[in-house]
Structures are given as C-alpha cells and as structure tokens.
C-alpha cells in the first residue's frame, strides 16, 4: 500500500516505462473493488492505452474480411447473405472482390449483422 501511495504516475514515454506499467497492471489486476489500488490500476491502464494507441495503432479491418469473419462467427453461408446483397450471385461477386459494396449493401449489413459502418466503408 505504501508503495502505491508513493508512486508518481507519468505519461508513458519509453518502452521501459511501458513494460514497468504493464508489470504494475499485472500486480494490481486482482485488487479489491473500490480500493486505492483499483484507482491506480485505472490510471495506469489509461496511460498504457494512450501509449499503445500512439505506438501500436490498429489498422481498420478490410470490409470483405470483416464480412467473412462475421459469417464464420455466426455460422452463415453465402445464401444467408442474399438479403443484404440482393442475390446469391451478387454475394459471390462482392466476396470475390469482383464488385464493390454499394451504400445500400453497407446499410443492410450494418443493420442486419451489426458490422460497423466505418469498417464497411473502408476502402
């Protein structure tokens, strides 16, 4: 507890600091809810997330790969996507990258399957 109170949290600037904060997170992950340790865990997590966002950005997923992933997760076949694309042949054309997604398809996929519009709009 004393070590926690004397801890001087700063924005993560180096890989060494990042590693130290990850170790600290590991040591605090099972702390009691509402404890001072939990507050430190929350603050350190925010600092680490900021560092990761700046140094390890995650690229937006490919729209077609996102659709295929959703199909796999939901156990969907190509025929199940016909309502979103207009026909089974259109599904094949889009998934084989022979035809682009239209705005109407994007809207239907977003509403019906919950795939983010931002992901589907990526080029």
* 79 and 46 belong to one structural domain: no
pLDDT in the model for residue 9: 87
What's the whole-number mean pLDDT along residues 45-65? Answer: 90
Residues 6 or more apart whose CB falls under 8 angstroms from that of 37 comprise 1, 4, 28, 31
* 22 and 43 belong to one structural domain: yes
**CATH code for position 98:** 1.10.260.40
Residue 26, pLDDT > 50, answer yes
24's tokens? 């600290």
Q: Which 3 state secondary structure label does DSSP give 117?
A: helix
pLDDT in the model for residue 41: 93
* 76 and 117 belong to one structural domain: yes
Residue span of the structural domain in which 73 resides: 63-121
pLDDT in the model for residue 58: 80
Q: What is the mean pLDDT of the chain?
A: 91
pLDDT in the model for residue 5: 54
Query: What's the total number of domains in the chain?
Result: 2
10's tokens? 């700063």
* 70 and 50 belong to one structural domain: no
Nearest to 121 by CA among 41, 40, 66: 66
What's the whole-number mean pLDDT along residues 20-25? Answer: 94
* 113 and 77 belong to one structural domain: yes
* 50 and 68 belong to one structural domain: no
26's tokens? 């590991």
34's tokens? 């509402």
Q: How far apart are CA 46 and CA 101, in angstroms?
A: 37
pLDDT in the model for residue 1: 47
The per-residue pLDDT for range 56-113, each reduced to its tens digit, is 888 778 999 999 999 999 999 999 999 999 999 999 999 999 999 999 999 999 999 9
Query: Which of 37, 55, 73 corresponds to the end of one domain?
Result: 55
pTM of the model: 0.56
């Amino acid at each position: 507890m004393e070590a926690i109170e004397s801890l001087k949290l700063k924005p993560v600037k180096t890989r060494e600091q990042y590693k130290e904060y990850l170790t600290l997170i590991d040591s605090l992950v099972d702390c009691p809810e509402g404890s001072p340790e939990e507050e430190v865990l929350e603050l350190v997590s925010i600092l680490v997330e900021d560092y990761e966002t700046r140094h390890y950005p995650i690229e937006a997923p490919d729209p077609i790969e996102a659709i295929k992933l959703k199909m796999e997760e939901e156990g969907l076949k190509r025929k199940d996507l016909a309502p979103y694309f207009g026909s089974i042949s259109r599904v094949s054309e889009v998934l084989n990258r022979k035809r682009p997604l239209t705005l109407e398809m994007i809207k239907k996929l977003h509403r019906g399957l919950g795939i983010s519009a931002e992901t589907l709009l990526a080029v």
